Amino acid sequence: MISVADWINGFRARALRDKDDARLRLTDFYLLSRSLKSEHPDQKLARYEAGGNLARQLGEPWWQLFFEFWKISTLLCDKLDTSAALDLAVRAARSRQTALRWVSRTSDA
């Protein structure tokens, strides 16, 4: 099993190698968001939202789910908004099925 850090670093390395600025920005959204302190949860949420939107545009379902996870974490830990976190978690669980279908479709390639 690959660690999250290895997954991000590998994705970033491939994006740099391929000169794929859009996919490189996915990693930037995450790294910049993680650098924000818990006193700035709305800024973190905005960056995670932007990252998720870019992932959707690029057809990167795992990145979409990844950003959803961090939004849920921010809602729970920084904003203490359990209701919004639960709503988002339910939507993310549903979208996970889409991500799994995408992986099974592309893993034979």
Give the global pTM.
0.79
**Token pair recorded at residue 74:** 């921010």
How wide is the angle at C-alpha 15 spanned by C-alphas 9 and 20, nearest 5°?
155
Question: Mind listing the pLDDT tens digit for each residue in 10-20?
Answer: 999 999 999 99
74-93 confidence digits (pLDDT tens): 999 988 999 988 988 888 78
